[in-house]
C-alpha cells in the first residue's frame, strides 16, 4: 500500500511537472537566458546587497543578478531581462541618490547577452558522467546478479532517471529559477539516488540470500528426515 | 572501570578538539593580526568571481589593393618607370606613390562572410582554444546568433589579460614568398603545433614545433629547396642571392627566413626568444610559444574578432544566497540529528558527537587537500555527509558484545563499503575528469568516502570498544 502511495505521488509530481513545463516553460535565470547586462561606474566600494535591492525595485518581478567588477570593485554590473529606457533612467537616479553621484543615462553601459544553449552547458558533463555510470552500473549488475541483471539495471537506472525527472519537475512546478545551483542540485540528487538504490538493492539481496539459506536448510532437514 | 572511563574521555576530548579545529580553525596573533595556521579554503569561480571576455565581430576596415584599377595603374607604373630611368631611387619613389594610390579600404569581415555558419565556426575555434588554454579547464561560452558576438567566462589568473588576446586572434597562418607575396602554405597545411624547450650551453631555448600534413610536408620539402641562399655570377665576380619566405600570423610577419637544408620530415622548429638562464624569461617565452601554438593548432577563424570586454567580475552570490545555504544546511543537519536521536536513543550523544566530528575532519581534509570549494563541491559535500551519517548509524546500531566486537565491526565495515562502492566508482572516475565542476564533485565525494572509513575505523570503533568494556566492567562490579 505504502509503495503504491509513493509511486502515485511520484507520478503526480512528474505529470504536474510535465504540464507546467509545457505550459509555462522554466524560469530560466538571467545568467542563462537572453538578458541585458548593465554596467555603472560607482567610483567607490559599494554594498552589493543594497544595489540588488534598488535593482529589484526597478526591475520588478525579474530575476536580478548583481556583481562587482574588479580590479577596484567600483563598477556595478546588473544582469536582468526586458530592460526599458525608463528603468535605466530610474536606476541612474537611484544610484546617484544612494552614492551621491552625478551619473547620466548615457554613462550606463548596456550589453545584450544571448541565452546559454543547453548543448553548450552540458557537453562537458556527458562523457565523464557516462563513463562513471557505466562502471557503477556494471559493478551493480555483478554485485546484485542474484536479483537478476535486468531487474537491477531497471531499479538503478530507473531510480536515477526518476530522481532527476523529479528535480526537473520541481523546478517547473515551483518556478524556482534555473540558475547556477541547478547543476549542483542535479549532481547531489544523482549521488543520493545512487546511495539509496544501492541500499535498497542490498536489502533485497539480503532477503533473497536469507530465503535461499532457509530453503537449503529445509532441504537438508528434509533429506536427513528421509534418510532416517 | 576507571581505565575505560579515562580512555572514553580521552577519545571524546580528541573528537572535540577535531571539531573545534575543523569548524573554527587555529589562529595565532602575528603583528596584531590574527592569522590562520590552517590552509585557507580555496574558492572556485562561482563563489569568488570569474574573468569575463566579450569578443565582438570586427567592424574595422583594412587597406587592400584596388583590383578594379589594376590595368590602368600598372600602365601608370610602367610609364613612370620608363620616364624615370635616370636613377633607381626616383623610380622606387614613384612606384611607392602609385602603390598607395592603388589601395582602398574595405571591412575586414566582408558582408557576405557575416553568416550564421561562420559565426558558429568561429565560436567552435574559440572553444577549442579555450579547452587548451583555460586555466583549470573551466569556462562557459555562449554566442549571440544575430551578430556572432561571443561571451566567455573563465577562471581568472594573473595572465588572464594575455590569455584573452589569444581568443580574439583570427589565427590566419600564411607562408609567403618574401618578394612576390605568393601564398606558399596556409593553415590547411598545419597538422599540429607544439611547444618544446631544450638546454643548451648558453641557456634554455624555447621552440615552437610546427608539424605539417602529408601534402604540407611535400610543399615544405619543395619550399626548403627553393628558398635558399645561392651564389650567382655577377659579371666577373659572384654575388649571393637569398630567396626568403615570410611566415605571417594575422598578416603580421613573425619570421622572415631561408632554408639551409632540405626539410623532409614536414616539421619546422621555430625558436621563440633567445637562449636564457632566467626563469622569468623562460616562462615568458614558454607562454608566448604556448599561445602561438594554441592559435595555430586550432585553425583559422572565418571571421576577425576584437576583444570588446575583458574584466574580472565578482560572484553573483549575495548575502541572501549565503543565508539560504546556511539555513537549508542547518535544517537538514537538524533533521539528521533528530532522526539519529530517535534511532540511537541512549547512544545518541556519542553518535551525534561522532557525526559532528566526522564533518569537522572532512572540512579539515578539504582544506589540506586544496579542494576548490564550488557549488558542485557543495553537492559532493552533501553526498559525503549522507555517506558518513549512514555509516555512523550502521556502526552504532550493530550488535555490541565484547566477544564478537571485532567480527561485527569488520562485517559492518564490509556493509558500509558495499553501499558506498557505486558512488565511489563514479567519484573516482570524476576525479580524472578535466572539467572542473565534475572534478570538484568527484574530489568532494572521494574524500567523503575516505574520511567515512578512516573516521569510523578509528573513533567510532574506539568509542564502541570503550563503551562495551565499561558496561561489562560495571556489570562485573555489580
B140/A121 Cβ within 8 A = yes
Please, which pLDDT band fits residue B409 given cuts at 50, 70 and 90? confident
Question: Regarding predicted confidence, which is higher, B89 or A124?
Answer: A124
Tell me the chain A residues in contact with residue B433 when contact means C-beta distances shorter than 8 Å.
128
Q: In Å, how far is B185's CA from the nearest CA of chain A?
A: 33
Judged by a CB distance cut-off of 8 A, whether residue B319 touches chain A is yes
Of B336, B358, B360, nearest to B348 by C-alpha is B336
* For helices A85-99 and A48-58, angle between their N-to-C axes, nearest 10 degrees: 150
pTM of the model: 0.79
Judged by a CB distance cut-off of 8 A, whether residue A192 touches chain B is yes
- Please give the residue of chain B at the shortest CA–CA distance from A35: B144
- d(Cα B346, Cα B15) in Å, to the nearest integer? 19
Question: Regarding predicted confidence, which is higher, A40 or B407?
Answer: A40
Tell me the chain B residues in contact with residue A140 when contact means C-beta distances shorter than 8 Å.
422
Strands (E), A106-152: 109-113
| pLDDT number for residue B478 | 62
- Please give the residue of chain A at the shortest CA–CA distance from B158: A71
- d(Cα B322, Cα B329) in Å, to the nearest integer? 11
| pLDDT number for residue B346 | 83
- Nearest beta carbon to residue A192 from set B141, B375, B386: B386
Q: In Å, how far is A222's CA from the nearest CA of chain B?
A: 31
Strands (E), B201-278: 203-212, 229-234, 237-242, 245-249, 252-257, 267-276
- d(Cα A124, Cα A127) in Å, to the nearest integer? 7
- Nearest beta carbon to residue B54 from set A111, A140, A180: A111
- Please give the residue of chain A at the shortest CA–CA distance from B426: A132
- d(Cα B192, Cα B296) in Å, to the nearest integer? 7
Statement: residue B70 has pLDDT above 60? no
Question: Which three cell numbers mark B116?
Answer: 550564421
| pLDDT tens track for A136-171 | 999 999 999 999 999 999 999 999 999 999 999 999
Q: In Å, how far is B51's CA from the nearest CA of chain A?
A: 9
* Chain A residues 56-95 with a CB less than 8 Å from chain B: 65-71, 73, 75, 77
Judged by a CB distance cut-off of 8 A, whether residue B151 touches chain A is yes
DSSP-derived 3-state class of residue B312: strand
8-state DSSP, B77 = H
Q: In Å, how far is B361's CA from the nearest CA of chain A?
A: 21
Please check whether residue B138 is in contact with residue B45, taking contact to mean a CB–CB distance below 8 angstroms: yes
Tell me the chain B residues in contact with residue A49 when contact means C-beta distances shorter than 8 Å.
318-320
- d(Cα B295, Cα B300) in Å, to the nearest integer? 8
| pLDDT number for residue B135 | 60
Judged by a CB distance cut-off of 8 A, whether residue A48 touches chain B is yes
Contacts of range B351-354, beta carbons closer than 8 Å, 24 or more positions apart: B351/B392, B351/B393, B351/B396, B353/B12, B353/B15, B353/B16, B354/B15, B354/B392, B354/B396, B354/B455, B354/B456, B354/B459, B354/B460, B354/B463
Please check whether residue B209 is in contact with residue B195, taking contact to mean a CB–CB distance below 8 angstroms: yes
Of B131, B167, B142, B123, nearest to A120 by C-alpha is B142
Cis omega before residue A71 (within 30°)? yes
Average pLDDT across chain B, whole number? 83
ipTM value > 0.90? no
8-state DSSP, A115 = P
- d(Cα B80, Cα B93) in Å, to the nearest integer? 10
Statement: residue A214 has pLDDT above 60? yes
A181/B375 Cβ within 8 A = yes
Judged by a CB distance cut-off of 8 A, whether residue A183 touches chain B is yes
Amino acid at each position: 500500500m505504502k509503495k503504491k502511495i509513493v509511486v502515485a505521488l511520484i507520478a503526480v509530481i512528474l505529470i504536474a511537472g510535465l504540464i507546467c513545463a509545457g505550459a509555462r516553460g522554466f524560469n530560466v535565470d538571467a545568467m542563462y537566458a537572453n538578458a541585458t547586462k548593465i554596467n555603472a561606474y560607482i567610483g567607490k566600494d559599494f554594498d552589493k546587497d543594497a544595489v540588488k535591492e534598488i535593482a529589484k525595485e526597478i526591475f520588478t518581478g525579474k530575476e536580478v543578478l548583481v556583481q562587482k567588477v574588479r580590479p577596484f570593485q567600483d563598477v556595478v554590473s546588473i544582469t536582468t531581462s526586458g530592460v526599458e529606457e525608463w528603468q535605466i533612467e530610474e536606476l541612474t537616479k537611484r544610484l546617484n541618490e544612494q552614492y551621491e553621484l552625478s551619473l547620466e543615462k548615457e554613462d550606463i553601459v548596456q550589453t545584450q547577452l544571448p541565452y546559454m544553449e543547453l548543448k553548450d552547458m552540458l557537453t562537458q558533463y556527458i562523457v565523464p558522467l557516462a563513463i562513471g555510470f557505466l562502471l557503477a552500473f556494471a559493478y551493480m549488475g555483478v554485485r546484485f546478479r542474484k536479483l537478476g541483471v535486468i531487474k537491477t539495471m531497471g531499479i538503478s537506472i530507473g531510480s536515477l532517471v526518476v530522481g532527476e525527472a523529479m528535480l526537473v519537475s520541481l523546478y517547473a512546478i515551483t518556478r524556482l529559477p534555473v540558475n547556477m545551483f541547478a547543476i549542483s542540485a542535479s549532481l547531489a540528487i544523482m549521488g543520493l539516488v545512487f546511495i539509496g538504490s544501492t541500499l535498497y538493492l542490498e536489502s533485497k539481496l539480503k532477503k533473497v540470500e536469507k530465503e535461499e539459506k532457509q530453503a537449503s536448510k529445509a532441504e537438508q532437514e528434509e533429506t536427513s528426515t528421509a534418510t532416517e | 572501570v576507571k581505565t575505560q572511563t579515562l580512555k572514553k574521555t580521552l577519545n571524546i576530548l580528541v573528537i572535540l578538539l577535531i571539531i573545534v579545529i575543523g569548524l573554527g580553525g587555529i589562529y595565532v596573533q602575528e603583528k596584531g593580526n590574527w592569522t590562520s595556521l590552517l590552509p585557507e579554503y580555496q574558492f572556485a569561480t562561482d563563489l569568488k568571481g570569474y574573468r569575463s571576455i566579450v569578443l565582438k565581430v570586427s567592424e574595422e576596415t583594412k587597406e587592400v589593393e584596388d583590383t578594379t584599377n589594376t590595368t590602368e595603374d600598372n600602365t601608370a607604373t610602367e610609364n613612370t618607370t620608363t620616364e624615370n630611368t635616370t636613377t633607381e631611387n626616383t623610380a622606387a619613389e614613384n612606384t611607392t606613390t602609385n602603390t598607395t594610390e592603388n589601395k582602398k579600404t574595405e571591412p575586414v569581415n566582408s558582408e557576405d562572410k557575416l553568416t550564421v555558419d561562420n559565426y558558429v565556426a568561429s565560436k567552435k575555434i574559440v572553444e577549442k582554444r579555450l579547452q587548451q588554454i583555460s586555466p583549470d579547464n573551466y569556462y562557459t561560452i555562449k554566442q549571440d546568433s544575430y551578430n556572432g558576438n561571443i561571451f566567455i567566462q573563465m577562471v581568472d589568473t594573473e595572465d588572464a589579460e594575455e590569455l584573452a588576446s589569444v581568443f580574439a586572434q583570427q589565427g590566419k597562418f600564411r607562408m609567403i614568398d618574401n618578394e612576390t607575396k605568393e601564398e606558399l602554405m596556409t593553415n590547411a597545411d598545419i597538422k599540429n603545433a607544439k611547444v618544446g624547450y631544450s638546454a643548451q650551453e648558453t641557456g634554455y631555448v624555447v621552440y615552437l614545433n610546427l608539424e605539417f600534413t602529408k601534402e604540407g610536408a611535400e610543399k615544405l620539402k619543395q619550399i626548403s629547396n627553393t628558398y635558399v641562399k645561392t651564389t650567382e655570377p655577377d659579371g666577373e665576380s659572384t654575388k649571393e642571392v637569398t630567396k626568403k619566405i615570410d611566415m605571417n600570423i594575422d598578416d603580421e610577419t613573425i619570421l622572415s627566413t631561408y632554408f639551409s637544408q632540405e626539410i623532409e620530415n614536414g616539421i619546422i622548429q621555430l625558436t621563440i626568444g633567445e637562449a636564457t638562464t632566467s626563469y622569468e624569461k623562460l616562462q615568458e617565452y614558454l607562454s608566448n610559444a604556448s599561445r602561438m601554438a594554441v592559435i595555430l593548432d586550432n585553425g583559422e577563424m572565418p571571421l576577425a574578432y576584437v576583444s570588446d570586454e575583458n574584466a574580472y567580475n565578482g560572484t553573483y552570490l549575495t548575502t541572501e544566497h549565503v543565508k539560504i545555504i546556511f539555513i537549508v544546511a542547518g535544517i537538514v543537519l537538524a533533521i539528521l540529528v533528530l532522526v539519529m536521536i530517535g534511532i540511537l536513543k541512549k547512544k545518541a550523544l556519542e553518535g551525534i558527537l561522532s557525526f559532528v566530528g566526522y564533518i569537522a575532519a572532512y572540512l579539515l581534509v578539504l582544506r589540506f587537500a586544496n579542494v576548490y570549494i564550488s557549488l558542485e563541491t557543495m553537492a559532493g559535500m552533501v553526498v559525503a555527509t549522507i555517506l558518513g551519517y549512514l555509516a555512523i548509524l550502521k556502526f552504532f546500531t550493530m550488535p555490541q558484545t565484547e566477544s564478537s566486537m571485532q567480527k561485527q565491526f569488520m562485517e559492518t565495515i564490509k556493509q558500509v563499503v558495499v553501499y558506498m562502492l557505486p558512488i565511489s566508482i563514479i567519484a573516482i572516475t570524476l576525479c580524472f575528469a578535466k572539467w572542473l565542476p565534475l572534478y570538484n564533485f568527484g574530489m568532494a565525494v572521494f574524500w567523503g568516502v575516505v574520511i567515512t572509513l578512516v573516521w569510523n575505523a578509528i573513533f567510532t570503533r574506539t568509542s564502541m570498544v570503550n563503551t562495551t568494556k565499561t558496561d561489562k566492567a560495571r556489570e562485573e562490579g555489580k
